[in-house]
Amino acid sequence: MAETLLITGASTGIGAATARLAAVAGYDLAIHYRKDIAGAERVAQDAKDAGVRAKLFQADVADPTQITSMFAGIDTTFGTLTALVNNAGIVDLAAPVTELSHARLKRMFDVNVIGAMLVAKEAVLRMQRAGKGAIVNVGSVASRTGSANEYVDYAASKAAIDTFTKGLAEEVAVQNIRVNCLRPGITDTEIHAKGGAPDRAQRLAHKIPMQRAGTATEIARSILFLLSDEASYITGATLDVSGGR
């Protein structure tokens, strides 16, 4: 029987690339999106073309009620869940800390931290019943660079994911559930445009030792490795996929 994988934020970017590679690897897919249904439908169709089951689930992960409804739908559709890529996240316009509002900070942490933790909680409950599981939390190298004068709030939210990964991994290791964090560096995806800087990946490429931004597919390959049995003795780890930065 195929493994069932939930990917949050799977309509574009790293989430979409991960879904497409996972489908080729044989995972049945629960494809989460918040707004971009057209992108999510394209990903689902590609997955079905690869010969696996794929179902769309719409939810705002900042709302715990919507998270609960999403998992109820996953239970009904697939019956089990053994893998999670906790990828949904947001960024805001570049700004120094002195310009950050309470509303912006609350939304950032509601989505990037609390939402991710609640999604992982629901996934773990199902993995405990299944007797196994693998989780990859998508963090960011911003958690150690700080993103001064741009995205300190985003960086702080991703630092919380680093710590959450380590703590959860130690809680569930004895239950045959692995939890790791994949920290992308500058990657050429749509997230930069959402942060008001569509050319950011190209503009900052000179700061990366490899002198280029990563691609969503390169990040996705590493996520699939951490999910796979090839990483069977890896848990509580944080892997930087960042071109050396």
CATH code at position 113: 3.40.50.720
Residue 39 has pLDDT above 90, yes or no: yes
- Whole-prediction pTM: 0.94
pLDDT tens, position by position, 76-103: 999 999 999 999 999 999 999 999 999 9
The 3-state secondary structure of the chain, one letter per residue: CCCEEEECCCCCHHHHHHHHHHHHHCCEEEEEECCCHHHHHHHHHHHHHCCCCEEEEECCCCCHHHHHHHHHHHHHHHCCCCEEEECCCCCCCCCCHHHCCHHHHHHHHHHHHHHHHHHHHHHHHHHHHHCCEEEEEECCCHHHHCCCCCCHHHHHHHHHHHHHHHHHHHHHHHHCEEEEEEEECCECCCHHHHCCCCCHHHHCHHHCCCCCCECHHHHHHHHHHHHCHHHCCCCCCEEEECCCC
Looking at the structure of the chain, the number of domains it has is: 1
pLDDT in tens, 128-183: 999 999 999 999 999 999 999 999 999 999 999 999 999 999 999 999 999 999 99
How confident is the model at residue 204, as a pLDDT? 73
Strand pairing of 83-86 and 4-7? parallel
17, pLDDT greater than 60 = yes
Residue 188 pLDDT: 81
Residue 27 among the catalytic residues: no
Structural domain including 104 reads: 4-241
Mean pLDDT of 96-113: 98
Per-residue pLDDT tens over the stretch 117-131: 999 999 999 999 999
> Would you state the structure tokens that stand for residue 89, as one six-digit string?
């996240």
Catalytic residue among 33, 151, 154, 233: 154
